[in-house]
Chains A and B, each alone.
Chain A
Amino acid sequence: MSTFRNIIQAITGTDEQPPRTCKKCGTEIPYSDYIANHCICPECGTYFRMRAVERLDATVDPGSFQEIDKKLRSKDPIKFPDYSQKLDKAEKASGLNEGVVCGTAQISGMDCGIFVMDSAFMMGSMGTVVGEKITRIIEKSTELHLPVIGFITSGGARMQEGIFSLMQMAKVSGAVKRHSEAGLLYIAVLTDPTTGGITASFAMQGDIIIAEPKALIGFAGQRVIEQTTGEKLPAGFQRAEFQLEHGFVDLIEERPRMTYTLAKLLKLHQAK
Protein backbone atom coordinates (compact mmCIF):
# COMPACT_ATOMS: atom_id res chain seq x y z
CA MET A 1 0.00 0.00 0.00
CA SER A 2 1.66 3.21 -1.09
CA THR A 3 1.50 6.59 0.52
CA PHE A 4 -0.19 8.08 -2.51
CA ARG A 5 -3.25 5.94 -2.10
CA ASN A 6 -3.78 7.89 1.10
CA ILE A 7 -3.53 11.16 -0.78
CA ILE A 8 -6.07 9.97 -3.32
CA GLN A 9 -8.34 9.16 -0.46
CA ALA A 10 -7.73 12.57 1.01
CA ILE A 11 -8.72 14.18 -2.28
CA THR A 12 -12.03 12.40 -2.50
CA GLY A 13 -12.68 12.29 1.23
CA THR A 14 -13.56 8.60 1.15
CA ASP A 15 -11.69 5.38 1.76
CA GLU A 16 -13.45 3.82 -1.17
CA GLN A 17 -12.57 5.09 -4.63
CA PRO A 18 -15.50 4.94 -7.04
CA PRO A 19 -15.04 2.81 -10.15
CA ARG A 20 -13.91 4.56 -13.35
CA THR A 21 -15.97 4.41 -16.50
CA CYS A 22 -14.28 4.21 -19.89
CA LYS A 23 -15.45 7.05 -22.12
CA LYS A 24 -14.80 5.02 -25.23
CA CYS A 25 -16.34 1.61 -24.53
CA GLY A 26 -18.36 2.29 -21.39
CA THR A 27 -16.67 -0.40 -19.30
CA GLU A 28 -16.87 0.19 -15.56
CA ILE A 29 -13.50 -0.52 -13.92
CA PRO A 30 -13.12 -1.03 -10.15
CA TYR A 31 -10.54 1.47 -8.88
CA SER A 32 -8.07 -1.19 -7.72
CA ASP A 33 -8.12 -2.77 -11.18
CA TYR A 34 -7.83 0.68 -12.72
CA ILE A 35 -4.62 1.39 -10.77
CA ALA A 36 -3.28 -2.13 -11.32
CA ASN A 37 -3.81 -1.63 -15.05
CA HIS A 38 -1.93 1.74 -15.10
CA CYS A 39 -5.15 3.74 -15.64
CA ILE A 40 -5.74 2.02 -18.97
CA CYS A 41 -9.10 0.48 -19.91
CA PRO A 42 -8.65 -3.31 -19.74
CA GLU A 43 -11.29 -3.79 -22.44
CA CYS A 44 -10.37 -1.34 -25.18
CA GLY A 45 -6.90 -0.06 -24.19
CA THR A 46 -7.91 3.61 -23.87
CA TYR A 47 -5.49 5.68 -21.79
CA PHE A 48 -7.22 7.65 -19.06
CA ARG A 49 -5.71 10.98 -18.03
CA MET A 50 -3.78 10.17 -14.86
CA ARG A 51 -4.00 12.30 -11.77
CA ALA A 52 -0.63 13.60 -10.54
CA VAL A 53 -0.78 11.39 -7.46
CA GLU A 54 -1.55 8.35 -9.56
CA ARG A 55 1.39 9.14 -11.82
CA LEU A 56 3.75 9.59 -8.91
CA ASP A 57 2.47 6.38 -7.39
CA ALA A 58 3.18 4.53 -10.62
CA THR A 59 6.58 6.14 -11.16
CA VAL A 60 8.62 6.84 -8.06
CA ASP A 61 9.95 4.55 -5.35
CA PRO A 62 7.42 4.23 -2.50
CA GLY A 63 7.97 6.84 0.19
CA SER A 64 10.67 8.68 -1.76
CA PHE A 65 8.63 11.68 -2.89
CA GLN A 66 9.30 14.95 -1.06
CA GLU A 67 6.89 17.58 -2.25
CA ILE A 68 7.91 21.25 -2.48
CA ASP A 69 5.72 24.37 -2.70
CA LYS A 70 2.56 22.43 -1.99
CA LYS A 71 0.73 25.49 -0.73
CA LEU A 72 1.56 27.99 -3.46
CA ARG A 73 -1.64 29.59 -4.70
CA SER A 74 -2.40 32.10 -7.48
CA LYS A 75 -2.67 35.74 -6.48
CA ASP A 76 -5.01 36.46 -9.42
CA PRO A 77 -2.45 38.93 -10.85
CA ILE A 78 -4.75 40.78 -13.25
CA LYS A 79 -7.93 40.44 -11.17
CA PHE A 80 -9.68 38.67 -13.99
CA PRO A 81 -13.49 38.36 -13.67
CA ASP A 82 -14.68 35.17 -11.94
CA TYR A 83 -11.13 33.78 -11.85
CA SER A 84 -10.91 33.66 -8.09
CA GLN A 85 -14.13 31.59 -7.93
CA LYS A 86 -12.79 29.36 -10.71
CA LEU A 87 -9.66 28.73 -8.66
CA ASP A 88 -11.75 27.78 -5.63
CA LYS A 89 -13.79 25.40 -7.75
CA ALA A 90 -10.71 23.83 -9.31
CA GLU A 91 -9.19 23.41 -5.89
CA LYS A 92 -12.26 21.60 -4.61
CA ALA A 93 -12.60 19.45 -7.71
CA SER A 94 -8.94 18.42 -7.86
CA GLY A 95 -7.87 18.45 -4.22
CA LEU A 96 -4.82 20.42 -5.40
CA ASN A 97 -3.80 24.07 -5.02
CA GLU A 98 -2.61 24.22 -8.60
CA GLY A 99 -2.11 22.26 -11.82
CA VAL A 100 1.32 20.81 -11.05
CA VAL A 101 2.86 18.76 -8.26
CA CYS A 102 6.63 19.12 -7.78
CA GLY A 103 9.30 17.57 -5.62
CA THR A 104 12.30 15.30 -5.39
CA ALA A 105 12.03 11.52 -5.54
CA GLN A 106 13.84 8.36 -6.42
CA ILE A 107 13.24 6.12 -9.40
CA SER A 108 14.84 2.68 -8.98
CA GLY A 109 16.98 4.21 -6.26
CA MET A 110 18.18 7.10 -8.42
CA ASP A 111 17.52 10.65 -7.20
CA CYS A 112 15.69 13.11 -9.43
CA GLY A 113 13.62 16.25 -9.45
CA ILE A 114 10.13 15.60 -10.75
CA PHE A 115 7.14 17.67 -11.80
CA VAL A 116 3.80 16.18 -12.69
CA MET A 117 1.06 18.29 -14.23
CA ASP A 118 -2.57 17.47 -13.45
CA SER A 119 -5.31 18.22 -15.95
CA ALA A 120 -7.96 18.06 -13.22
CA PHE A 121 -6.91 21.57 -12.19
CA MET A 122 -8.06 23.91 -14.98
CA MET A 123 -6.73 21.60 -17.69
CA GLY A 124 -3.22 21.88 -16.29
CA SER A 125 -3.03 25.36 -17.79
CA MET A 126 0.05 27.40 -16.89
CA GLY A 127 -0.37 30.51 -14.82
CA THR A 128 2.13 32.12 -12.47
CA VAL A 129 2.02 29.32 -9.91
CA VAL A 130 2.53 26.49 -12.39
CA GLY A 131 5.39 28.46 -13.96
CA GLU A 132 6.90 29.32 -10.58
CA LYS A 133 6.65 25.78 -9.20
CA ILE A 134 8.23 24.21 -12.28
CA THR A 135 10.97 26.86 -12.27
CA ARG A 136 11.69 26.20 -8.59
CA ILE A 137 11.98 22.42 -8.93
CA ILE A 138 14.28 22.83 -11.95
CA GLU A 139 16.41 25.38 -10.07
CA LYS A 140 16.50 23.12 -7.02
CA SER A 141 17.56 20.19 -9.21
CA THR A 142 20.34 22.31 -10.70
CA GLU A 143 21.50 23.18 -7.21
CA LEU A 144 21.34 19.55 -6.02
CA HIS A 145 22.80 18.31 -9.31
CA LEU A 146 19.79 16.13 -10.11
CA PRO A 147 18.16 15.13 -13.38
CA VAL A 148 14.61 16.35 -13.94
CA ILE A 149 11.67 14.26 -15.11
CA GLY A 150 8.60 16.22 -16.22
CA PHE A 151 5.23 14.60 -16.85
CA ILE A 152 3.43 17.11 -18.99
CA THR A 153 -0.23 17.66 -19.72
CA SER A 154 -1.63 21.10 -20.34
CA GLY A 155 -4.13 23.00 -22.38
CA GLY A 156 -1.54 25.80 -22.66
CA ALA A 157 -1.27 29.20 -21.06
CA ARG A 158 -3.90 30.30 -18.55
CA MET A 159 -5.56 33.31 -20.13
CA GLN A 160 -7.03 34.49 -16.82
CA GLU A 161 -3.50 35.49 -15.81
CA GLY A 162 -2.87 37.45 -19.00
CA ILE A 163 0.69 38.50 -19.81
CA PHE A 164 1.96 36.96 -16.55
CA SER A 165 0.95 33.59 -17.89
CA LEU A 166 2.72 34.13 -21.24
CA MET A 167 5.94 35.20 -19.51
CA GLN A 168 6.11 31.91 -17.60
CA MET A 169 7.13 30.27 -20.88
CA ALA A 170 10.29 32.37 -20.90
CA LYS A 171 10.88 31.97 -17.18
CA VAL A 172 10.74 28.16 -17.25
CA SER A 173 12.86 28.10 -20.43
CA GLY A 174 15.56 30.04 -18.57
CA ALA A 175 15.57 27.49 -15.76
CA VAL A 176 15.74 24.60 -18.24
CA LYS A 177 18.67 26.30 -20.00
CA ARG A 178 20.66 26.70 -16.78
CA HIS A 179 19.90 23.13 -15.71
CA SER A 180 21.16 21.92 -19.08
CA GLU A 181 24.30 24.04 -18.91
CA ALA A 182 25.11 22.36 -15.60
CA GLY A 183 25.36 19.13 -17.58
CA LEU A 184 22.13 17.69 -16.24
CA LEU A 185 19.49 15.55 -17.88
CA TYR A 186 15.91 16.67 -18.46
CA ILE A 187 13.40 14.13 -19.73
CA ALA A 188 10.00 15.47 -20.85
CA VAL A 189 7.18 12.95 -20.94
CA LEU A 190 4.33 14.26 -23.06
CA THR A 191 0.89 12.98 -22.19
CA ASP A 192 -2.56 13.75 -23.52
CA PRO A 193 -3.02 16.66 -24.16
CA THR A 194 0.15 18.77 -24.49
CA THR A 195 -0.71 21.92 -26.40
CA GLY A 196 -0.21 25.65 -26.91
CA GLY A 197 2.43 27.53 -24.97
CA ILE A 198 3.57 24.39 -23.19
CA THR A 199 4.50 22.72 -26.48
CA ALA A 200 6.15 26.03 -27.43
CA SER A 201 8.35 25.91 -24.34
CA PHE A 202 9.47 23.25 -21.85
CA ALA A 203 7.61 20.31 -23.47
CA MET A 204 9.95 20.61 -26.46
CA GLN A 205 13.12 21.42 -24.49
CA GLY A 206 13.87 17.97 -23.11
CA ASP A 207 17.19 16.28 -23.83
CA ILE A 208 14.92 13.32 -24.35
CA ILE A 209 11.25 13.65 -25.23
CA ILE A 210 9.00 10.65 -24.63
CA ALA A 211 5.33 10.57 -25.61
CA GLU A 212 2.50 8.33 -24.52
CA PRO A 213 0.69 6.52 -27.33
CA LYS A 214 -1.96 8.59 -29.13
CA ALA A 215 -1.38 11.65 -26.93
CA LEU A 216 -2.43 14.91 -28.57
CA ILE A 217 0.71 17.04 -28.93
CA GLY A 218 0.78 20.31 -30.83
CA PHE A 219 1.07 24.06 -30.79
CA ALA A 220 -2.09 25.34 -32.48
CA GLY A 221 -5.52 24.09 -31.52
CA GLN A 222 -7.20 21.88 -34.09
CA ARG A 223 -10.31 24.02 -34.38
CA VAL A 224 -8.19 27.15 -34.85
CA ILE A 225 -6.25 25.46 -37.66
CA GLU A 226 -9.45 24.39 -39.40
CA GLN A 227 -10.86 27.89 -39.12
CA THR A 228 -7.63 29.55 -40.28
CA THR A 229 -6.94 27.29 -43.24
CA GLY A 230 -10.37 25.94 -44.17
CA GLU A 231 -8.67 22.59 -44.60
CA LYS A 232 -9.72 19.26 -43.17
CA LEU A 233 -7.15 17.86 -40.76
CA PRO A 234 -5.51 14.58 -41.77
CA ALA A 235 -6.21 11.47 -39.68
CA GLY A 236 -3.93 11.20 -36.66
CA PHE A 237 -2.90 14.86 -36.93
CA GLN A 238 -0.90 16.07 -33.89
CA ARG A 239 -1.00 12.67 -32.21
CA ALA A 240 2.14 11.16 -30.64
CA GLU A 241 2.64 8.90 -33.68
CA PHE A 242 2.46 11.96 -35.98
CA GLN A 243 5.08 13.73 -33.86
CA LEU A 244 7.34 10.66 -33.94
CA GLU A 245 6.97 10.39 -37.71
CA HIS A 246 7.86 14.07 -38.13
CA GLY A 247 10.86 13.77 -35.85
CA PHE A 248 9.76 15.80 -32.84
CA VAL A 249 9.71 13.11 -30.14
CA ASP A 250 12.42 10.57 -29.39
CA LEU A 251 10.17 7.66 -28.63
CA ILE A 252 6.68 6.57 -27.79
CA GLU A 253 6.48 4.45 -24.69
CA GLU A 254 3.52 2.52 -23.38
CA ARG A 255 2.43 3.42 -19.91
CA PRO A 256 3.12 0.05 -18.25
CA ARG A 257 6.78 0.29 -19.41
CA MET A 258 7.27 4.01 -18.73
CA THR A 259 8.91 3.73 -15.30
CA TYR A 260 11.23 1.00 -16.56
CA THR A 261 12.28 3.15 -19.53
CA LEU A 262 12.81 6.22 -17.35
CA ALA A 263 14.96 4.20 -14.95
CA LYS A 264 16.97 2.81 -17.85
CA LEU A 265 17.60 6.30 -19.24
CA LEU A 266 18.52 7.70 -15.83
CA LYS A 267 20.98 4.85 -15.36
CA LEU A 268 22.52 5.35 -18.81
CA HIS A 269 23.12 8.99 -17.96
CA GLN A 270 24.77 8.08 -14.67
CA ALA A 271 27.24 5.67 -16.23
CA LYS A 272 30.70 7.14 -16.70
Chain B
Amino acid sequence: MAETKTAYERVQAARNGKRPMGSYYIEHMIDDFVELHGDRRFGDDAAIVAGIGTLNRIPVTVIAMERGDTIEERMKRNFGCPEPEGYRKALRLMKEAEKFRRPIICFIGSSGAYCGIEAEERGQGLAIAENLYEMMGMKTPIISVVVGEGGSGGALALGVCDTAIMLENAVYSVISPEGCASILWKDSAKAPEAAEHLRLTSYDLLQFDVIEKLIPESGKTDREICSELKTVLLEEIQKLSALSPEALLEHRYAKFRKIGA
Protein backbone atom coordinates (compact mmCIF):
# COMPACT_ATOMS: atom_id res chain seq x y z
CA MET B 1 0.00 0.00 0.00
CA ALA B 2 1.76 3.12 -1.17
CA GLU B 3 1.38 6.64 0.10
CA THR B 4 -0.43 8.56 -2.63
CA LYS B 5 -1.77 11.62 -0.83
CA THR B 6 0.10 14.25 1.16
CA ALA B 7 -0.51 14.30 4.91
CA TYR B 8 -2.46 17.52 4.65
CA GLU B 9 -4.64 16.13 1.87
CA ARG B 10 -5.59 13.37 4.26
CA VAL B 11 -6.28 15.93 7.01
CA GLN B 12 -8.62 17.69 4.59
CA ALA B 13 -10.25 14.43 3.58
CA ALA B 14 -10.73 13.49 7.25
CA ARG B 15 -12.42 16.86 7.87
CA ASN B 16 -14.54 16.86 4.72
CA GLY B 17 -18.09 17.86 5.61
CA LYS B 18 -19.50 15.05 3.46
CA ARG B 19 -17.41 12.36 5.09
CA PRO B 20 -19.50 9.82 7.00
CA MET B 21 -19.18 10.08 10.78
CA GLY B 22 -20.36 7.86 13.63
CA SER B 23 -24.08 7.87 12.85
CA TYR B 24 -23.48 6.60 9.32
CA TYR B 25 -21.72 3.50 10.57
CA ILE B 26 -24.40 2.88 13.16
CA GLU B 27 -27.07 3.17 10.50
CA HIS B 28 -25.36 0.92 7.98
CA MET B 29 -23.70 -1.61 10.23
CA ILE B 30 -25.71 -1.99 13.42
CA ASP B 31 -29.14 -3.63 13.56
CA ASP B 32 -31.82 -2.96 16.18
CA PHE B 33 -29.93 0.05 17.48
CA VAL B 34 -31.35 1.63 20.62
CA GLU B 35 -29.85 5.02 21.37
CA LEU B 36 -29.28 5.74 25.06
CA HIS B 37 -28.89 9.26 26.37
CA GLY B 38 -27.31 11.22 29.15
CA ASP B 39 -24.54 11.02 31.72
CA ARG B 40 -26.96 10.93 34.71
CA ARG B 41 -24.93 13.76 36.18
CA PHE B 42 -25.66 16.88 34.24
CA GLY B 43 -26.98 16.39 30.73
CA ASP B 44 -26.89 14.72 27.35
CA ASP B 45 -24.16 15.61 24.89
CA ALA B 46 -25.29 15.20 21.28
CA ALA B 47 -21.67 15.25 20.06
CA ILE B 48 -21.54 11.62 21.16
CA VAL B 49 -24.16 9.11 20.04
CA ALA B 50 -24.27 5.97 22.15
CA GLY B 51 -26.38 2.89 22.45
CA ILE B 52 -26.78 -0.85 22.02
CA GLY B 53 -27.45 -2.88 18.91
CA THR B 54 -26.25 -5.95 17.09
CA LEU B 55 -23.45 -6.55 14.63
CA ASN B 56 -24.34 -9.70 12.71
CA ARG B 57 -26.52 -10.71 15.65
CA ILE B 58 -23.76 -10.10 18.20
CA PRO B 59 -24.89 -7.54 20.79
CA VAL B 60 -22.48 -4.59 20.94
CA THR B 61 -22.35 -1.21 22.65
CA VAL B 62 -21.51 1.59 20.24
CA ILE B 63 -20.07 4.95 21.25
CA ALA B 64 -19.76 7.29 18.30
CA MET B 65 -18.68 10.87 17.78
CA GLU B 66 -21.02 12.72 15.45
CA ARG B 67 -20.89 16.26 14.07
CA GLY B 68 -24.15 16.22 12.08
CA ASP B 69 -24.90 17.10 8.45
CA THR B 70 -27.13 20.18 8.38
CA ILE B 71 -26.13 23.44 10.05
CA GLU B 72 -28.94 23.03 12.62
CA GLU B 73 -27.72 19.57 13.47
CA ARG B 74 -24.14 20.77 13.69
CA MET B 75 -25.14 23.48 16.15
CA LYS B 76 -26.99 20.87 18.22
CA ARG B 77 -24.02 18.53 18.12
CA ASN B 78 -21.53 21.30 18.85
CA PHE B 79 -19.71 20.48 15.57
CA GLY B 80 -18.74 17.13 17.01
CA CYS B 81 -16.68 18.54 19.89
CA PRO B 82 -17.71 16.66 23.05
CA GLU B 83 -18.23 18.31 26.41
CA PRO B 84 -17.51 16.50 29.70
CA GLU B 85 -21.05 15.04 29.65
CA GLY B 86 -20.29 13.27 26.37
CA TYR B 87 -17.31 11.47 27.86
CA ARG B 88 -19.27 10.67 31.02
CA LYS B 89 -22.15 9.25 28.99
CA ALA B 90 -19.62 7.15 27.09
CA LEU B 91 -18.10 5.85 30.32
CA ARG B 92 -21.46 5.12 31.88
CA LEU B 93 -22.50 3.03 28.90
CA MET B 94 -19.13 1.29 28.65
CA LYS B 95 -19.60 0.18 32.24
CA GLU B 96 -23.06 -1.10 31.34
CA ALA B 97 -21.46 -3.03 28.48
CA GLU B 98 -18.84 -4.46 30.85
CA LYS B 99 -21.55 -5.68 33.22
CA PHE B 100 -23.09 -7.74 30.43
CA ARG B 101 -19.77 -8.75 28.84
CA ARG B 102 -20.74 -6.99 25.63
CA PRO B 103 -18.00 -5.78 23.24
CA ILE B 104 -17.64 -2.01 22.80
CA ILE B 105 -17.05 -0.29 19.47
CA CYS B 106 -15.99 3.37 19.51
CA PHE B 107 -16.08 5.58 16.42
CA ILE B 108 -13.72 8.56 16.63
CA GLY B 109 -13.96 11.66 14.47
CA SER B 110 -13.71 15.10 16.02
CA SER B 111 -11.33 18.04 16.03
CA GLY B 112 -11.15 17.51 19.78
CA ALA B 113 -12.78 17.94 23.16
CA TYR B 114 -14.64 21.25 23.33
CA CYS B 115 -12.59 24.18 24.61
CA GLY B 116 -15.04 26.35 26.53
CA ILE B 117 -15.50 28.03 29.89
CA GLU B 118 -18.37 25.76 30.98
CA ALA B 119 -16.54 22.65 29.78
CA GLU B 120 -13.68 23.59 32.10
CA GLU B 121 -16.07 24.38 34.95
CA ARG B 122 -17.53 20.91 34.62
CA GLY B 123 -14.15 19.18 34.48
CA GLN B 124 -13.21 18.48 30.87
CA GLY B 125 -9.76 17.29 31.97
CA LEU B 126 -11.16 15.03 34.67
CA ALA B 127 -13.75 13.54 32.30
CA ILE B 128 -11.05 12.48 29.83
CA ALA B 129 -8.72 11.32 32.61
CA GLU B 130 -11.46 9.10 34.07
CA ASN B 131 -12.15 7.50 30.70
CA LEU B 132 -8.47 6.68 30.15
CA TYR B 133 -8.24 5.23 33.64
CA GLU B 134 -11.44 3.20 33.53
CA MET B 135 -11.00 1.96 29.97
CA MET B 136 -7.62 0.52 30.97
CA GLY B 137 -9.51 -1.78 33.34
CA MET B 138 -12.71 -2.42 31.36
CA LYS B 139 -13.26 -6.20 31.36
CA THR B 140 -14.80 -6.45 27.92
CA PRO B 141 -13.30 -6.04 24.43
CA ILE B 142 -12.94 -2.45 23.19
CA ILE B 143 -12.33 -1.70 19.51
CA SER B 144 -11.74 1.90 18.47
CA VAL B 145 -12.10 3.05 14.88
CA VAL B 146 -10.80 6.46 13.81
CA VAL B 147 -13.10 7.38 10.92
CA GLY B 148 -12.34 11.10 10.67
CA GLU B 149 -10.06 13.48 12.51
CA GLY B 150 -8.68 11.97 15.71
CA GLY B 151 -8.02 15.15 17.65
CA SER B 152 -5.73 14.70 20.66
CA GLY B 153 -6.93 13.84 24.19
CA GLY B 154 -10.56 14.25 23.19
CA ALA B 155 -10.11 11.37 20.73
CA LEU B 156 -8.00 9.23 23.04
CA ALA B 157 -10.85 9.39 25.57
CA LEU B 158 -12.59 6.86 23.28
CA GLY B 159 -9.34 5.37 22.05
CA VAL B 160 -8.05 3.19 24.88
CA CYS B 161 -8.75 -0.15 23.24
CA ASP B 162 -7.64 -3.66 22.37
CA THR B 163 -7.66 -3.10 18.64
CA ALA B 164 -7.19 0.30 17.03
CA ILE B 165 -8.40 0.67 13.45
CA MET B 166 -8.06 3.65 11.12
CA LEU B 167 -9.73 4.31 7.82
CA GLU B 168 -7.11 5.17 5.21
CA ASN B 169 -7.94 8.88 5.10
CA ALA B 170 -8.48 9.32 8.82
CA VAL B 171 -5.80 11.11 10.82
CA TYR B 172 -4.85 10.90 14.49
CA SER B 173 -2.69 13.52 16.13
CA VAL B 174 -1.53 15.02 19.40
CA ILE B 175 -2.29 18.51 18.05
CA SER B 176 -3.95 19.94 14.95
CA PRO B 177 -1.50 20.87 12.19
CA GLU B 178 -2.75 24.47 12.47
CA GLY B 179 -2.13 24.54 16.23
CA CYS B 180 1.30 23.03 15.79
CA ALA B 181 2.26 25.50 13.04
CA SER B 182 1.06 28.50 15.01
CA ILE B 183 2.97 27.47 18.13
CA LEU B 184 6.18 26.52 16.35
CA TRP B 185 6.30 28.97 13.48
CA LYS B 186 3.72 31.56 14.57
CA ASP B 187 2.01 30.86 11.25
CA SER B 188 -1.02 28.59 10.98
CA ALA B 189 -0.74 28.81 7.18
CA LYS B 190 2.17 26.40 7.50
CA ALA B 191 -0.27 23.67 8.59
CA PRO B 192 0.47 21.49 5.54
CA GLU B 193 4.14 21.39 6.52
CA ALA B 194 3.26 20.66 10.16
CA ALA B 195 0.92 17.87 9.04
CA GLU B 196 3.78 16.22 7.18
CA HIS B 197 6.10 16.40 10.20
CA LEU B 198 3.52 15.27 12.78
CA ARG B 199 3.24 11.83 11.10
CA LEU B 200 -0.48 11.64 11.63
CA THR B 201 -1.71 9.49 8.74
CA SER B 202 -3.06 5.96 9.02
CA TYR B 203 0.05 4.68 7.23
CA ASP B 204 2.30 6.41 9.78
CA LEU B 205 0.40 5.03 12.74
CA LEU B 206 0.35 1.52 11.29
CA GLN B 207 4.09 1.72 10.76
CA PHE B 208 4.55 2.95 14.36
CA ASP B 209 2.49 0.02 15.65
CA VAL B 210 0.09 2.46 17.33
CA ILE B 211 -2.84 1.02 15.36
CA GLU B 212 -3.42 -2.58 14.33
CA LYS B 213 -5.52 -2.25 11.18
CA LEU B 214 -5.88 0.10 8.23
CA ILE B 215 -8.98 0.02 6.04
CA PRO B 216 -8.19 1.17 2.47
CA GLU B 217 -10.56 3.72 0.99
CA SER B 218 -9.36 4.64 -2.47
CA GLY B 219 -11.68 3.65 -5.27
CA LYS B 220 -14.33 2.45 -2.81
CA THR B 221 -17.78 3.77 -2.01
CA ASP B 222 -18.76 4.59 1.56
CA ARG B 223 -20.90 1.45 1.61
CA GLU B 224 -17.98 -0.72 0.51
CA ILE B 225 -15.72 0.80 3.14
CA CYS B 226 -18.42 0.25 5.74
CA SER B 227 -18.82 -3.36 4.73
CA GLU B 228 -15.08 -4.04 4.83
CA LEU B 229 -14.88 -2.40 8.25
CA LYS B 230 -17.73 -4.59 9.44
CA THR B 231 -15.86 -7.72 8.39
CA VAL B 232 -12.75 -6.60 10.28
CA LEU B 233 -14.80 -5.70 13.37
CA LEU B 234 -16.41 -9.14 13.40
CA GLU B 235 -13.03 -10.84 13.14
CA GLU B 236 -11.63 -8.74 15.97
CA ILE B 237 -14.65 -9.29 18.20
CA GLN B 238 -14.38 -13.02 17.68
CA LYS B 239 -10.67 -12.99 18.46
CA LEU B 240 -10.93 -10.76 21.54
CA SER B 241 -14.02 -12.47 22.94
CA ALA B 242 -12.04 -15.72 23.12
CA LEU B 243 -9.67 -14.16 25.68
CA SER B 244 -10.29 -14.35 29.41
CA PRO B 245 -10.87 -10.94 31.06
CA GLU B 246 -7.39 -11.20 32.64
CA ALA B 247 -5.70 -11.98 29.32
CA LEU B 248 -7.65 -9.21 27.64
CA LEU B 249 -6.51 -6.60 30.17
CA GLU B 250 -2.94 -7.87 30.05
CA HIS B 251 -3.01 -7.55 26.28
CA ARG B 252 -4.44 -4.02 26.47
CA TYR B 253 -1.88 -2.92 29.04
CA ALA B 254 0.96 -4.31 26.94
CA LYS B 255 -0.36 -2.61 23.80
CA PHE B 256 0.05 0.84 25.36
CA ARG B 257 2.97 -0.05 27.61
CA LYS B 258 5.27 -0.66 24.65
CA ILE B 259 4.61 2.73 23.00
CA GLY B 260 7.68 4.87 23.40
CA ALA B 261 9.35 2.48 25.85
Contacts and interface: CB of A to CB of B under 8 A. Distances in A.
Contacts of A127: 260
Nearest to A75: B260
Interface string B119-153: 11111111011101100110000000000000011
B205 A201 contact: no
A173 B160 contact: yes
Contacts of B128: 200-201, 219
Interface residues of B, number: 49
A77 interface: yes
B180 A173 contact: no
A229 B116 contact: yes
B260 A128 contact: yes
A203 B133 CA distance: 12
A129 B156 CA distance: 19
A192 to B, nearest CB: 15
Interface stretch (A19-27, A106-114, A154-162): A154-162
Given A169-B153, A204-B125, A220-B124, A164 B137 contact: no
Contact of B117 (A135, A159, A177, A234): A234
Nearest to B254: A174
Interface string A178-203: 10010000000000000011011111
Interface centre among A78, A202, A203 (most CB of B within 10 A): A78
The main secondary structure of chain A at its interface with chain B is helix
Interface residues of A, number: 55
A166 interface: yes
Contact of A178 (B117, B122, B184, B253): B253
A176 B174 CA distance: 21
Contacts of A196: 153
B113 to A, nearest CB: 7
A219 B113 contact: yes
A229 B117 contact: yes
A78 B197 contact: yes
B208 interface: yes
Nearest to B185: A81
Given A80-B197, A220-B124, A233-B117, A173 B136 contact: yes
B120 A167 contact: no
Contact of A173 (B132, B173, B183, B205): B132
B173 to A, nearest CB: 7
B129 A199 contact: yes
B160 A225 contact: no
A224 B198 contact: no
B198 A159 contact: yes
A220 B137 contact: no
A166 B132 contact: no
A210 to B, nearest CB: 15
A219 B199 contact: no
Nearest to B198: A162
A174 B116 contact: no
A103 B97 CA distance: 39
Given A128-B260, A162-B174, A78 B113 contact: no
B253 to A, nearest CB: 5
Interface in A136-180: 157-159, 161-171, 173-174, 176-178
- Shortest 4 CB-CB contacts between residues of A and residues of B: A128-B260, A199-B125, A219-B125, A220-B115
Interface of A: 77-78, 80-81, 127-129, 131-132, 135, 157-159, 161-171, 173-174, 176-178, 181, 196-197, 199-205, 218-221, 224-225, 228-229, 231, 233-234, 237-238, 246-248
Given A204-B130, A219-B128, 13 more contacts: A80-B198, A128-B261, A157-B152, A166-B156, A173-B133, A173-B160, A177-B137, A201-B128, A205-B130, A219-B153, A225-B115, A225-B120, A248-B125
Interface of B: 113-117, 119-126, 128-130, 132-133, 136-137, 152-153, 156-157, 159-160, 172-175, 179-180, 183-184, 197-200, 204-205, 208, 210, 252-253, 256-257, 259-261
12 contacts: A162-B198, A170-B136, A170-B159, A174-B253, A200-B128, A204-B126, A225-B120, A229-B115, A229-B116, A229-B117, A233-B117, A246-B121
